[in-house]
Copies of this chain bind each other. A is one copy, B any other.
Amino acid sequence: MQALLLTIGDEILLGQTIDTNSTWLGQELNAIGIQVARRITVSDGLEDIQDALRYGWTHMDLVIMTGGLGPTKDDITKKAIASFFQVDLVFHHETYERILRIFERIGRPATEAHREQCFMPANSQLLPNGMGTAPGMWFEEKGHILISLPGVPYEMKSIMQDAGLPRLASQPGLIPIIHRTLLTAGKGESELAARLDSIESSLPDYIKLAYLPALGQVRLRLSAYGGQAVLRQQEVDHFADLIYQEFGTAIYAEGDTTLEATVGRLLQERGLTLATAESCTGGAIASQITSVPGSSSYYLGSVVAYHNALKTRQLGVPSEVLNQFGAVSEPVVQQMVRGVIQTFQADVAISASGIAGPSGGSPEKPVGMIWVAVGNGKDIRTCELRLGKDRGKNIEMTAVLALNELRLWLLEHQDVHGTGISF
């Protein structure tokens, strides 16, 4: 079953609103085996809507429209649908009475615009809206289905969860799509692609491998279409195994999680506490760690020593070391780890110092040169990054790679355990 998601609204085209409805619908439909084959966004104009509707009705099994059902003047979706099906708009008493009751409850009068909202295309079946005034609508003809929903995200979701998705899931002939998503960190998309070349070539045509890159991370998604679910699952598992064999610990988790949550879980399992000492990342590592709910059970805090004098005063980096090697150097990040472990009484720590840019570099230490250290008081692992010239990207990338370094350090030091937060 192939679907078109059709979004109505000038505010989306103008970039004033981000279309999160289509994102949510894509996830939910995929989960019940409906493939979103296309998304179209058009303006609030009658012709634009009908044109897109005609396309969807001709080429797809299912069209889901969002937007254009509210009581304001630019909302003309219903007129477009009625005219498309060549049916009249019919007054729907039940809906009007429900709207009157809502307004009675909140002590305000319903307006004429709300009465107009109750005219529905004659061939519509209503999907109740528990969150607002405009109901959803279901149209069905010759094996094609059209669903029209309000654009307000929580109303749209509520109608789909209560009525739309269950009814779609019960359509005959739906085969769920099988996915596995392997999350990698520290490897570039092209390195992954080069090393996966032979695995990719051996994939049957009903299994696809997609690369979903973000800064410092790439998600590898295997998707199997059609066939018998059990067999497909086995095949997907087989190729996932091959990818694990190729990349080992570069894969940090699967599915719907994050690197920072994975590191957090490792720390929590081993009763280890973490502190950070940051220079050029300016709090970005701390910020990423604390984005995880419950991180207070292993994360103590950070010293952001943006100014060099604070590296000495707060982290005990000797000023001679700073003078001899410079703030962006291996001995400094090593001492930053030792210093914050001592000050915060942490088990393990991460530190970073570098030249984030866009200016401030020198021939020996160019913009994008960043030192990272991870470890405990006994064993510290360092690495030197050579990134680009974009400040924001350098900072975010360093945070990701530093967290990944700590993850690898923890995997290599299985014997290191703590007792949790002790003060």
Contacts and interface: CB of A to CB of B under 8 A. Distances in A.
Interface of A: 7, 10-20, 22-28, 30, 35-44, 48, 52, 70-74, 105-108, 110-114, 130-131, 133, 152, 154, 158, 181, 188-194, 200, 208-213, 219, 221, 223, 276, 278, 281-287, 289-291, 293-296, 299-307, 309-310, 314, 343-344, 357-359, 386-393, 395, 421, 423
A111 to B, nearest CB: 4
A12 B210 CA distance: 12
The 5 closest A-B pairs by CB, nearest first: A282-B290, A15-B26, A283-B286, A283-B283, A15-B27
B43 A40 contact: no
A301 B305 contact: yes
A157 to B, nearest CB: 11
B73 A131 contact: no
A306 B310 contact: no
Most buried by B among A26, A152, A208, A295: A26
A389 to B, nearest CB: 8
A307 B303 contact: no
Contacts of A107: 386
Contact of A304 (B24, B114, B302): B302
A26 B38 contact: no
A386 B102 CA distance: 11
18 contacts: A14-B36, A15-B26, A15-B27, A15-B36, A16-B211, A18-B23, A40-B41, A70-B211, A72-B192, A106-B387, A108-B191, A110-B190, A113-B194, A282-B286, A283-B290, A300-B310, A307-B423, A310-B344
Given A20-B18, A36-B14, A152 B395 contact: no
Contacts of A39: 7, 12-13, 39-41
Contacts of A291: 282, 391-392, 395
Contacts of A43: 37-38
A200 B357 CA distance: 42
A131 B191 contact: no
A107 B30 CA distance: 41
Contacts of A290: 281-284, 304, 306, 395
A17 B181 CA distance: 13
B307 A421 contact: yes
A221 B15 CA distance: 13
A77 to B, nearest CB: 14
A62 to B, nearest CB: 13
A193 to B, nearest CB: 4
A74 B72 CA distance: 43
A304 B301 contact: yes
Nearest to A201: B73
Given A16-B219, A283-B302, 15 more contacts: A16-B26, A19-B23, A70-B190, A70-B211, A74-B210, A284-B287, A286-B287, A291-B391, A295-B306, A299-B307, A301-B307, A301-B314, A302-B303, A302-B304, A307-B421
Contacts of A48: 37-38
Nearest to A274: B306
Contact of A71 (B7, B26, B190, B305): B190
Nearest to A37: B43
A324 to B, nearest CB: 19
Contact of A40 (B38, B72, B223): B38
Given A73-B193, A306-B300, A15 B41 contact: no
A226 B391 CA distance: 39
Nearest to A287: B283
A72 B192 CA distance: 9
A75 to B, nearest CB: 9
Contacts of A192: 72
A275 B300 CA distance: 19
Given A10-B210, A194-B112, A388 B71 contact: no
A25 B13 CA distance: 9
Contacts of A52: 38
